[in-house]
Amino acid sequence: MPKRYQVAKAHVVDSLGDFSEQIDVLVFDRQYSPFIFTFEGQTIVPAESVYAVFEAKQTINASLVSYAQKKVASVRKLHRTSLPIPFANGTYPAKPPIPILGGILSLESEWSPPMGEPFAKGLAADGDLGRLDIGCIGSHGHFVDCGLPPV
């Protein structure tokens, strides 16, 4: 990955001083919001830099999916800002914040079948803020449901 993009176990902070829960795998961009810091051994990333958040578990079941959805929601609910970007001939308007992808990563599934209808119902249980868009269950497969309009 280019150095512009990084992955870390981190907390996310917004400009109002609110923090997310600790995120196992945070994908973020340092180019437009390079202020990343460490406090008492914890990495802190500004909300404007975040592209994706993932919860990582050995196995997943209904309660762990719900837990992951709460972690994703703790980032998506944060306030994100955007400013105009000055350049040599003027200023580009502020970019709207991009949607943050949320996901789960695990080795196993406790559902039977591992990626069947009960699993799909478990993913749909938490609404938009906690939606899990993408995931991988190492021994069974992956899912993608970004819920975003086609580009």
Instruction: Tell me if residue 99 falls in helix, strand or coil.
Output: coil
CA distance 87 to 96: 18
Catalytically active residues, by annotation: 24, 55, 57
Structure tokens at 3: 């150095």
Distance set, CA 2 to CA 8, 18, 20 (Å) = 14, 29, 26
Phi-psi region of 41 (alpha: psi -120 to 50; beta: other; left: phi over 0): left
CA distance 5 to 117: 35
